[in-house]
């Protein structure tokens, strides 16, 4: 696995091995309790271990408890339209931002998608704009959320990226990402762009500020390199909170944009959502109604239940559904109906927020002067 290529699929039991290989740490109960001291509650992505690993999250919390600030950074490669799976990491990032009330940088890597995919620049530009609206419709705080579009912030990004690039050799990039001589040189350079937001606020403010990056495990190579190189530039190693690949409708592999039935898109209408959930959602239920009544379902692997659990704000409701479904009192059909309702309610809220911020996107764009 590398950021640009996935061969095969990752199974649940592979994750601990991967993490060991990568040198990150599992988020254990002790760290969860530490985090809970600041957040008051734990997001379902933490309790379900969707976000399951970290690098130096403990250091961020330690420093924070001593009154030292940090900021959040995450991003998206605007390769196409967004589905629910794409949005999940942003839901989690927003939760962190709300709990800690910190600045957040969101990088849109239009340059990356041009370099690594076969998509015309105009199409990427259009996706970038649409994706930003999708992300912002989650309701991020305006004063503290700063969207960086690589091609539009090229001056400040480039001037910092070259500091990074000077310390990254082609042979390292080649080894880390499995690049070949026939790969374009842009790919060799790109990590230098993705690393910049991890030290950008420190660079602008002229003092070291910790950066915590929520990301999917497929992005780990970039940030491992950043952890090697940032100290050489005089900055902190970036900290990370790492997720598994987002669950797909069909239960295995990740949600993919190329197969329309493997994902729920943000612009799917209510009927389509219901149909996809009914027809394709991987079920933890039994084959027959009788068996289900007798043996109950396995909610933890059930796509419909998991989406319900992620999107339903009322935890007591979620707990009740969990035990109803697990015991067999609730059938898969009912579970799917509940889930589709929750998804539709969520999407409809998203759409109305999207409408209301449509003309205000500019005020979320990164502006150096706000940090000086
Ligand atoms: N490379 C990521 C992608 O293809 C986008 C990205 C940029 C990102 N910066 C990030 C993702 C920081 C997570 C964290 O989607």
Helices and strands in the chain, H and E counts = 17, 7
User: Residue of the nearest CA to atom 4 in ligand 1?
Assistant: 77
Residue bearing tokens 């254990």: 28
Ligand 1 centre from 219 Cα, in Å? 7
For residue 219 and ligand 1, the question of a CB distance below 6 A is answered with yes
The CA-atom distances, in angstroms, between 9 and each of 12, 51, 91, 248, 299 are 10, 18, 24, 11, 22
The domain over range 268-356 is classified in CATH as 1.10.240.10:
yes
Judge contact between 109 and 156, C-beta under 8 A: no
Domain boundaries defined on the chain: 12-249, 268-356
User: What is d(CA 61, CA 268) in angstroms, rounded to the nearest whole number?
Assistant: 39
Judge contact between 76 and 86, C-beta under 8 A: yes
User: What is d(CA 40, CA 38) in angstroms, rounded to the nearest whole number?
Assistant: 6
The domain over range 12-249 is classified in CATH as 3.20.20.120:
no
User: What is d(CA 146, CA 73) in angstroms, rounded to the nearest whole number?
Assistant: 9
Q: Is the pLDDT of residue 178 over 70?
A: yes
Judge contact between 193 and 170, C-beta under 8 A: no
Q: How does residue 21 score in pLDDT terms, banded at 50, 70 and 90?
A: confident
- Give the residues across from 51 on adjacent strands: 243
Q: Give the DSSP H/E element, type plus range, for residue 65.
A: helix 57-65
Q: What percentage of the chain has pLDDT greater than the value 90? A: 87
What is the DSSP pairing of strand 239-243 with strand 25-26?
A: unpaired
212: burial class by Cβ within 10 Å (0-12, 13-18, 19+)?
buried
Ligand 1 centre from 344 Cα, in Å? 27
User: What is d(CA 196, CA 160) in angstroms, rounded to the nearest whole number?
Assistant: 6
Backbone φ, ψ for residue 215 (5° rounding): -155, 160
Q: How many residues does the chain have?
A: 372
User: What is d(CA 224, CA 215) in angstroms, rounded to the nearest whole number?
Assistant: 12
Q: Is the pLDDT of residue 114 over 90?
A: yes
Ligand 1 centre from 74 Cα, in Å? 6
pLDDT at 261: 79
- Reported as a single tens digit per residue, the pLDDT across 253-281 is 555 566 777 789 999 999 999 999 999 99
Contacts of 362 (CB under 8 A, 6+ apart): none
Judge contact between 150 and 157, C-beta under 8 A: yes
User: Residue of the nearest CA to atom 8 in ligand 1?
Assistant: 75
Of the candidates 25, 89, 29, the one whose C-alpha atom is nearest the C-alpha of residue 247 is 89
pLDDT at 210: 98
User: Residue of the nearest CA to atom 3 in ligand 1?
Assistant: 77
Ligand 1 centre from 75 Cα, in Å? 4
Q: Is the pLDDT of residue 55 over 80?
A: yes
Of the candidates 327, 334, 309, 273, the one whose C-alpha atom is nearest the C-alpha of residue 88 is 309
Ligand 1 centre from 265 Cα, in Å? 19
Interval 140-144 mean pLDDT = 97
Judge contact between 35 and 42, C-beta under 8 A: yes
For residue 262 and ligand 1, the question of a CB distance below 6 A is answered with no
Q: How does residue 218 score in pLDDT terms, banded at 50, 70 and 90?
A: very high
Q: Is the pLDDT of residue 7 over 70?
A: no
Interval 237-265 mean pLDDT = 79
Maximum alpha-carbon separation in the chain: 66
275: burial class by Cβ within 10 Å (0-12, 13-18, 19+)?
middle
């Amino acid at each position: 696995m590398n950021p640009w290529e996935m061969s095969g699929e990752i199974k649940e039991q592979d994750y601990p091995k991967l993490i060991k290989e990568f040198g990150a740490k599992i988020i254990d109960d002790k760290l969860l309790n530490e985090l809970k001291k600041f957040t008051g509650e734990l997001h379902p992505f933490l309790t379900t271990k969707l976000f399951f690993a970290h690098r130096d999250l403990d250091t961020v919390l330690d420093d924070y408890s001593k009154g030292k600030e940090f900021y959040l950074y995450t991003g998206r490669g605007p390769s196409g339209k967004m589905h629910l799976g794409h949005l999940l990491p942003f839901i989690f990032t927003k939760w962190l931002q709300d709990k800690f009330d910190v600045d957040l940088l969101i990088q849109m890597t239009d340059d990356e998608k041009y370099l690594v995919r076969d998509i015309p620049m105009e199409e990427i530009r259009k996706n970038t704009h649409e994706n930003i609206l999708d992300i912002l419709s989650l309701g991020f705080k305006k004063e503290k959320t700063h969207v960086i579009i690589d091609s539009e912030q090229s001056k400040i990004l480039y001037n910092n990226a070259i500091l990074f690039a000077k310390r990254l050799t082609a042979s390292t990039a080649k080894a880390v990402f499995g690049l070949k001589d026939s790969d374009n040189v842009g790919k060799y350079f790109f990590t230098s762009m993705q690393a910049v937001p991890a030290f950008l606020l420190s660079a602008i403010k002229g003092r070291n500020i910790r950066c915590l990056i929520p990301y999917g495990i497929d992005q780990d190579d970039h940030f491992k390199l950043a952890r090697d190189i940032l100290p050489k530039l005089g900055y902190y190693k970036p900290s990370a909170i790492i997720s598994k690949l987002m669950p797909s409708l069909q239960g295995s592999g990740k949600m993919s944009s190329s197969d329309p039935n493997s994902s729920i898109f943000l612009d799917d209408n209510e009927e389509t959502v219901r149909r996809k959930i009914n027809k394709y959602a991987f079920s933890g239920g039994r084959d027959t109604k009788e068996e289900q009544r007798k043996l109950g379902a396995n909610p933890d692997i059930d796509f419909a239940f998991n989406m319900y659990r992620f999107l339903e704000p009322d935890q007591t409701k979620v707990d009740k559904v969990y035990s109803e479904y697990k015991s067999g009192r609730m059938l898969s059909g009912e579970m799917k109906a509940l889930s589709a309702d929750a998804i539709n309610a969520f999407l409809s809220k998203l759409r109305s927020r999207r409408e209301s911020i449509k003309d205000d996107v500019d005020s979320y764009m990164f502006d150096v002067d706000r940090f000086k």
